[in-house]
Amino acid sequence: MVDFYYLPGSSPCRSVIMAAKAVGVELNKKLLNLQAGEHLTPEFLKINPQHTIPTLVDNGFALWESRAILVYLVEKYGKTDSLYPKCPKKRALINQRLYFDMGTLYQSFANYYYPQVFAKAPADPEAFKKIEAAFEFLNTFLEGQTYVAGDSLTVADIAILATVSSFEVAKFDISKYANVSKWYENAKKVTPGWDENWAGCLEFKKYFD
């Protein structure tokens, strides 16, 4: 049994749910109430000393950081390597996109929206410019491309889909970026688990209403 500690509204958690669906792994989902400090209990700290979500426990093997979990699920449970091909060049491009999501795209979301949502801070125009720059990069990556890395769906699409859908419920105007918009519409149709991802997005949306 694969235990999964998560919150449905979290983009990184939602990416893991989609990847698990894509490789046919059933997750034993365990909701963690961060506001109640459930991630800081001695039991959870023993599993993940960094006390972050998502956290996966596969027969005693604990792993956190969503993008590491995506790769692990495909490498261990994927019936083919299509979501994370063994070709070094294809894999390198996917890795680059995963790091771009972590360090640039998702980071820009966190830096701009989280202070407003969780600390009631005013919007920071400089942080908003970082979002626009991140979307410009993604738009460039997608020029003439159906997928973010290579010519088929990979874990890079799954990670970035989780992030971009969060921007949608935060009311960021994705339509200004034609390549991203086109990719997003297709990714929603072809990514397993999209419905559950969107349900989590709608739960997250209450912070922006």
Active site residues: 10
Question: Which tokens in the block code for residue 67?
Answer: 């993008």
Query: Would you list the DSSP string of 122-188?
Result: PP-HHHHHHHHHHHHHHHHHTTT-SSSSSSS--HHHHHHHHHHHHHHHTT--GGGSHHHHHHHHHHH
Peptide bond into 125 cis (omega under 30): no
Q: Tell me how many degrees the CA angle 104-107-111 measures, rounded to the nearest 5.
A: 130
Q: In one letter, which amino acid is 206?
A: K
Tell me the pairing of strands 55-58 and 2-6. antiparallel
* Alpha carbon distances (Å) from 91 to 40, 152, 155, 182: 35, 12, 10, 24
